């Protein structure tokens, strides 16, 4: 049975937000904006508009987000109501970050820091190869997690690293509560725990969404969690607003036979 679809994903996100009984953030591990035909033709605009409807809070910068270069992604970041994050991609000449490293979200009296970590594949595209430099993920995370820990109650890392590298990240960087990965393209049914960090992935291509409920103690470490995995099958209805948006973009960019 076919799974996935932007309009189904927005339905799920809206449903979860409406039913929430505690602080919630909606996040994406990245490499999400330029994969499909209409997304590519619209330079990622359709994806950003749909994610705005789903009330995303943040996503990390991945390889497929920079297919058209950093300038295009920076334009989409300016249009997004969510943060597009990368703490370890810097301009080759100035050594300044090309995107915000993290965002702090306040929900129901809880401060949540969300940090973005890219992988080196971001620099594998012709449009990006000479424009930026890649900073060591663990050293970068150590710097920013330490900075965030002075300001927030919970730290989430959106990571484009492989699952084994995310385990190393959790082991080397104290203070992380959750790592949401995406590069390995696998479903982690049960989050892996490394020290005080929970690590999870939800497969790829928007086929599944995951809800990770984390219970954090006074010491800032998770003491319990519940993860639910939802396959976006045909049983999920399309969000009408998103379906209309997608139809509009398909009319604007018809697939050539």
Domain membership flag for residue 90: yes
Domain annotation covers residue 43: yes
For the segment 206-235, what is each residue's pLDDT rounded down to a tens digit? 788 899 999 888 777 788 889 999 888 888
pLDDT at residue 8 greater than cutoff 50 = yes
The contacts of residue 103 (CB under 8 Å, 6+ apart) are 57, 58, 83, 85, 113, 114
Domain contains 221: yes
Model-level pTM? Answer: 0.94
| Tokens at 74, concatenated | 């920076």
CATH at 165:
3.60.21.10
pLDDT tens for 32-59 read 999 889 999 999 999 999 999 999 999 9
Contact in structure between 204 and 223 (CB atoms under 8 Å): no
Q: Do residues 214 and 198 make contact, with C-beta atoms less than 8 angstroms apart?
A: yes
Domain total in the chain: 1
- CA-to-CA distance for 163 and 200, rounded, in angstroms? 9
Domain-located, residue 257: no
pLDDT (0 to 100) of residue 81: 98
Q: Is the pLDDT of residue 119 over 90?
A: yes
Residue 225 lies in a domain: yes
Strand, coil or helix: 226: strand
Alpha helices (H) in the chain, listed in sequence order: 6-19, 37-41, 45-53, 70-79, 137-149, 163-172, 240-252
Query: How far apart, in whole angstroms, are the C-alpha atoms of residue 196 and residue 230?
Result: 25
Residue 185 lies in a domain: yes
In a domain, 1, yes or no: no
Pick from 1-15, 53-67, 73-87, 148-162: least confident:
1-15
Residues spanned by the domain of 114: 6-252
Helix 45-53 vs helix 70-79: angle between axes, to the nearest 10 degrees? 30
pLDDT exceeds 60 at position 153: yes
Do 46 and 84 meet the contact criterion of CB atoms below 8 Å apart? no
The answer to whether residue 207 is domain-embedded is: yes
Question: DSSP letter at 69?
Answer: -
pLDDT band at 164; cut points 50, 70, 90: very high
The pLDDT of residue 105: 97
pLDDT over 60 (residue 257): no
């Amino acid at each position: 049975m076919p799974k996935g679809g932007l309009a189904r994903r927005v339905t799920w996100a809206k449903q979860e937000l409406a039913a929430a009984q505690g602080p919630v953030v909606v996040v994406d591990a990245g490499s999400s904006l330029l994969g499909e035909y209409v997304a590519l033709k619209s330079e990622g605009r359709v994806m950003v508009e749909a994610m705005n409807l789903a009330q995303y809070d943040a996503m990390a910068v991945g390889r497929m987000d920079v297919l058209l270069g950093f300038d295009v992604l920076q334009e989409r970041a300016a249009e997004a109501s969510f943060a597009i994050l990368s703490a370890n991609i810097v301009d080759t000449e100035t050594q300044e970050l090309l995107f915000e490293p993290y965002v702090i979200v306040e929900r129901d009296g809880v401060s949540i820091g969300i940090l973005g970590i890219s992988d080196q594949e971001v620099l594998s595209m012709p449009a990006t190869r000479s424009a930026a430099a890649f900073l060591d993920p663990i050293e970068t995370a150590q710097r920013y997690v330490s900075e965030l820990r002075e300001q927030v109650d919970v730290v989430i890392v959106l990571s484009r690293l492989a699952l084994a590298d995310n385990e190393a990240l959790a082991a080397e960087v104290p203070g992380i509560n959750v790592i949401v990965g995406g590069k390995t393209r696998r479903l982690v049914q049960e989050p892996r725990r490394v020290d005080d960090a929970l690590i999870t992935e939800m497969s790829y291509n928007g086929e599944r969404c995951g809800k990770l409920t984390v219970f954090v103690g006074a010491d800032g470490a998770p003491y319990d969690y519940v993860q639910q995995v939802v396959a976006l099958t045909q049983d999920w209805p399309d969000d009408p607003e998103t379906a209309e948006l997608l139809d509009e973009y398909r009319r604007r960019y018809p697939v050539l036979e």
